[in-house]
Amino acid sequence: MTATILSANLPPSAFPAGPLPPRAGVGLKSQHVEDILAANEGSSADIGFFEVHAENYMGAGGKPHDQLRRIRERYPLSVHGVGMSIGGAQPIDRQHLARFKAVVERYQPGMVSEHLAWSTHDDVFYNDLLPVPYTDETLRLVTEHVDEVQNAIGRQILIENPSTYVTFAESTWSEFEFMKEVARSTGCGLLFDVNNVYISATNHGYSPEAYIDAYPLEYVQEIHLAGHASDRDDNGNPLLIDAHDRPVCSDVWTLYRRTLTRTGPLPSLIEWDNEVPDWPVLEAEAAIAEQILGSNRHPVRPARKAALEIL
Amino acid sequence: MTAARSRNDSDLPHVLRMAHFADALLNPEEEPPQGVGREGEPAPKRFAVYRNNVVVSLIEAMKQAYPSLLAIMGEENFTQVARHFISAHPPQTAMMQTYGGPFAEFLENYRPLAKSPFLADVARAERAWLTAYHAVDWPVLSPGELSMARDPSELVFHPHPAACLLPSNYPLFDLFNARETWPCPGIDLAGAQGALITRPQLDCMIARLDGTDMVFFAALFDGKTLETAVTAAIEADGGFIPAEAINLALATGAFCSLSRPPLPSSNPPATG
């Protein structure tokens, strides 16, 4: 009885609280919502969480908010920004930040994340995640911007490692050291995109395994997985494109397993944003991640905890 | 990790680096910025991935916002016009659902399409549809509110926040519905059809408004009383049936509330 009275008194925006579970999630697409919820009534859309792009919910009302409210009532949620331009030289756009904050307050997600990238210069938004040189100057800018976002929304965010097609002559930091320093100095967490690691490593000719082994995985709280397209650059070198338009490739699954061996199970998102298939295809993709997560359910972390309890 | 530099661009402050990068993104004639490539060597094809991402994603956003124009103009023509629009009006916020807002005004002044002035009306209707889709959730005027009101002829009707009235000299209703059929059938451009776009619940709708109905709705949207709107419509054509027009207003959710204008006698004198 008490519980009923309590929940009746909660404001309509109160959703199930708590962090994302260490399970497989899927990027939410409008066209899948009814399939997901219909299955959910028969308790069969067994997805650990959903992730949305914050920008798609910055309108005032209508169907997008109705759909997301119904999803949020049943599932944990991650809000992922694609337009904050954290790697830009200019100050964070206050209006955009206010809209971002409103989405976070409205949906109370388990996780909030953004990218190590820029998308705005002067007054133009380029609608792409553009690459950042790794210098002392950009480190200072990124750090200030992450601080500003975290202060504005009053909670920690995760920053995602980019997929890149070019490098900059002026870079003086390695990417993983840069990411580590951002996390260390701002207290933000990291979102580890394994597909991005594979793309950047292939495009720039280094070993993705060595990158993962050197990466500050202790800061990672969520993983992204996606498919990519293959091309060749001007000199015939492989050039992978972060297309999010197909299944995760087997090399990326292998790198994912390698990552989990060190981190233990983490919330792991399937991103599929172009040539979006029917819901069952995405559900099956998530099931693969779920299976890999399941085989990592007895990792280092609980063992460590048990050892501490004994001490 | 080394500070040794040979390249001119290497000590650029980030803001200049971004300026060069950004300029080259939307200008295909511009060389990719120096010091950007593979291991510091130029790699135009790599830079072209970013160029392509930006332009293709914005064309895609325009296609999603203007499916009727896409159907009417065809993929090739639409893409060409969209490219010109993108160069002239790149996005200014990350809310892509608002991108392409000034497309109607752009089309009005776009010389190659000067002989197709109806396209701007279609763009206005499609923008109104998208605006309605994202508009604030707000209840529509219920039939009960109107039937319970005293002296309804004295009332003014407040447009619902999602509602948009679109008069046109062209068959706008048919042109808008080109999005429903692919390939687009030939549309007879003779005859005028106005349109009313609304969102009574979560789904947008479009109603065709001709002749006296348009006169009536235009008067109400303009803040005139019900009586003035009915009079205007009857003066336009004696065959106007007020009850049918009012039912259409209720069924479409064009209005959200009623009020009474202040009585003329209660107005303060214009001058002392």
| Cβ pair A127:B54 closer than 8 A | yes
| Cβ pair A96:B14 closer than 8 A | no
| Cβ pair B94:A82 closer than 8 A | yes
Residues 6+ apart with CB under 8 A from B82: B58, B59, B62, B63
B143 within some domain: yes
Q: How far apart are CA B206 and CA B164, in angstroms?
A: 10
Residues B233 and B177 in one domain: yes
pLDDT reading at A125 higher than 50: yes
Task: Kindly report the nearest CA distance between residue A296 and chain B, in angstroms.
Answer: 36
B121 within some domain: no
B2 within some domain: no
| Cβ pair A124:B45 closer than 8 A | no
Residues B252 and B182 in one domain: yes
Q: How far apart are CA B223 and CA B228, in angstroms?
A: 10
Q: How far apart are CA B11 and CA A303, in angstroms?
A: 49
Q: Does A69 touch chain B (CB under 8 A)?
A: no
Which of B9, B94, B199 lies at the smallest CB-CB distance from A83? B94
Task: Give the domains, in start order, of chain A with CATH numbers.
Answer: 15-310 (3.20.20.150)
Residue with the two structure tokens 């692919």: B182
What is chain B's pLDDT, residue by residue, as a tens digit (272 residues)? 333 333 444 456 899 999 999 999 998 888 999 889 887 788 999 999 999 999 999 999 999 999 999 999 999 999 999 999 999 999 999 999 999 999 999 999 999 999 999 999 999 999 999 999 999 999 999 999 999 999 999 999 999 999 999 999 999 999 999 999 867 778 888 889 999 999 999 999 999 999 999 999 999 999 999 999 999 999 999 999 999 999 999 999 999 999 998 776 655 555 43
Q: At what angle do helices B226-236 and B242-252 cross, to 10 degrees?
A: 120
Residue pair B41/A233 in contact (Cβ under 8 Å)? The answer is no
Residues B96 and B157 in one domain: no
In a mutagenesis test of the B interface, which of A128, A142, A235 is the best target, namely the one with the most B β-carbons within 10 Å? A128
CA distance from start to end of chain B: 80
Residues B190 and B82 in one domain: no
In a mutagenesis test of the B interface, which of A127, A231, A240 is the best target, namely the one with the most B β-carbons within 10 Å? A127
Domain boundary among B75, B100, B125: B100
Task: Kindly report the nearest CA distance between residue B19 and chain A, in angstroms.
Answer: 7
Count of structural domains within chain B: 2
Q: Does A82 touch chain B (CB under 8 A)?
A: yes
Size of interface A-B (CB pairs under 8 A): 161
- Among A100, A87, A222, CA closest to A146: A87
B117 within some domain: no
Query: Over chain A, what HEC string results?
Result: CHHHHHHHHCCCCCCCCCCCCCCEEEECCHHHHHHHHHHHHCCCCCCCEEEEEHHHHCCCCCHHHHHHHHHHHHCCEEEECCCCCCCCCCCCCHHHHHHHHHHHHHHCCCEEEEECCEEEECCEEEEEEECCCCCHHHHHHHHHHHHHHHHHHCCCCEEECCCCCCEECCCCCCHHHHHHHHHHHHCCEEEEEHHHHHHHHHHHCCCHHHHHHHCCHHHEEEEEEECCEEEECCCCCEEEECCCCCCCCHHHHHHHHHHHHHHCCCCEEEECCCCCCCHHHHHHHHHHHHHHHHCCCCCHHHHHHHHHHHC
Residues B219 and B166 in one domain: yes
| Cβ pair A60:B135 closer than 8 A | yes
Domain boundary among B76, B100, B124: B100
| Cβ pair A235:B199 closer than 8 A | no
| Cβ pair A167:B37 closer than 8 A | yes
Residues 6+ apart with CB under 8 A from B267: none
pLDDT per position as a tens digit, A68-100: 999 999 999 999 999 999 999 999 999 999 999
Q: How far apart are CA A242 and CA A245, in angstroms?
A: 9
| Cβ pair A130:B58 closer than 8 A | no
pLDDT reading at A309 higher than 60: no
Range of the domain at B35: 11-100
> Which residue in B has a C-alpha nearest to residue A99's C-alpha?
B95
Residues B189 and B232 in one domain: yes
pLDDT reading at A115 higher than 90: yes
Residues B245 and B140 in one domain: yes
| Cβ pair A62:B57 closer than 8 A | no
- Among A97, A116, A192, CA closest to A154: A97
| Cβ pair A124:B92 closer than 8 A | yes
Residues B232 and B138 in one domain: yes
B106 within some domain: no
Q: How far apart are CA A230 and CA B202, in angstroms?
A: 40
Q: How far apart are CA A291 and CA A108, in angstroms?
A: 28
Report the CATH number that the domain containing residue B169 is assigned in CATH.
Answer: 3.90.930
Residue pair A302/A263 in contact (Cβ under 8 Å)? The answer is no
Residues B167 and B65 in one domain: no
Residues B90 and B41 in one domain: yes
Residues of chain B neighbouring A123 (CB-CB closer than 8 A): 92
CA distance to A20, A37, A41, A156, per residue, from A46 (Å) = 14, 11, 11, 27
Amino acid at A219: Y
pLDDT per position as a tens digit, A215-238: 999 999 999 999 999 999 999 999
pLDDT score of A42: 61
B181 within some domain: yes
B187 within some domain: yes
Q: How far apart are CA A184 and CA A219, in angstroms?
A: 9
B127 within some domain: no
In B102-254, beta strands by DSSP E: 156-159, 164-166, 194-198, 205-209
Which of A120, A128, A170 lies at the smallest CB-CB distance from B35? A170
ipTM over 0.95: no
209-268 in A: which are within 8 Å (CB) of B?
Answer: 232-235, 237, 239, 241
CA distance to A99, A140, B172, B251, per residue, from B157 (Å) = 32, 55, 25, 14
pLDDT per position as a tens digit, A233-272: 999 999 999 999 999 999 999 999 999 999 999 999 999 9
| Cβ pair B57:A128 closer than 8 A | yes
Task: Kindly report the nearest CA distance between residue B180 and chain A, in angstroms.
Answer: 18
Residues B259 and B143 in one domain: yes
CA distance to A31, A144, A309, B166, per residue, from B194 (Å) = 31, 52, 74, 6
Q: What is the pTM of this model?
A: 0.91
Domain boundary among B100, B115, B144: B100
Residues B92 and B181 in one domain: no
> Which residue in B has a C-alpha nearest to residue A233's C-alpha?
B45
